[in-house]
Amino acid sequence: MRKVMFGALLCSLGCAATDLESDSGIGDGDPSNNGGGADNGSDENESVSATLMLLNAMSGAGIAGVTVESPSGESGTTGSDGSVGFTIDAGGTFQFRVRGDSVLDHLVFGPTGSGDFVYPTFVATESLLDSVNNSLGTVTASETGIVVVGIDYEDLTPAVGATASIGSMHDSPWVFGSMGASYGDTIPTGGMGAVIFPNVPPGDTSVTVQPPSGSTCSAFPGGGQMPNSPVFMNHVTVVTFHCVRTR
């Protein structure tokens, strides 16, 4: 159970249900000053179906009753399976803002692409974050954010050996291995497919992944490089990369 609790915390998984550079303009770390996070450079009159699925970090079950705001500012509430769907502009990037009494504020970000997609993600609670801080002896600084970089293969198995980095200042990143949370920036064997960067200052940051040997990785769901990703104070920013084995 300890491994499940720590491993699920903040770990984002992108579903492979997709057909296959944006500047968010964030300056003060307040998401309310960033409009609806609407796409830049999207194709006029083109749209895709986007489904966000929010999962309980302890059990993996869907979380009902959580409010999600789409890139256009439309709001929806997750159903019993934790999912909520929107029609959003194709191309450019998306920002889904997640709020609920039972979860930390999250921002799910990525390149939209041109195909319909489903994006499941575990969501964290204050109590789970406190548990990780207690385990590692760390402190979450006020007025900073957390960046979670999910790195998985298309079958959602962790991309063992992949390394993540971001362009902003941060405290030592975490990974989740067979014994729970530990410091590191490389996906471990027997662990979870995520690297977590704590205490990141608000603004935009680059996110880069070095793939495992014999693999390539790209931003989910739209592919290519990950656009600069927004970080808000007191939010968890979630981005995901999917990897493909080339040999």
| CA 179 – CA 177 distance, rounded (Å) | 5
What letter represents residue 195's amino acid?
A: V
Range list of β-strands (E), 12-102: 47-56, 67-69, 75-77, 83-89, 93-100
Among candidates 131, 117, 114, 124, which has minimal Cα distance to 2?
Answer: 131
| CA 109 – CA 96 distance, rounded (Å) | 7
- Domain of 77, CATH number, reads 2.60.40.1120
pLDDT at 37 over 80: no
Range list of β-strands (E), 57-193: 67-69, 75-77, 83-89, 93-100, 103-111, 117-123, 145-153, 163-166, 174-177, 180-183
Burial class (CB in 10 A: 0-12, 13-18, 19+), 62: middle
The number of domains in the chain is: 1
Each residue of 118-130: pLDDT tens digit? 998 888 888 888 8
Each residue of 179-229: pLDDT tens digit? 888 999 999 999 888 999 999 999 999 999 999 999 999 999 999 999 999
Domain span holding position 75: 2-245
Share of the chain above pLDDT 90, in %: 64
Residue 181 contacts residue 11 (beta carbons within 8 Å): no
End-to-end CA distance of the chain: 35
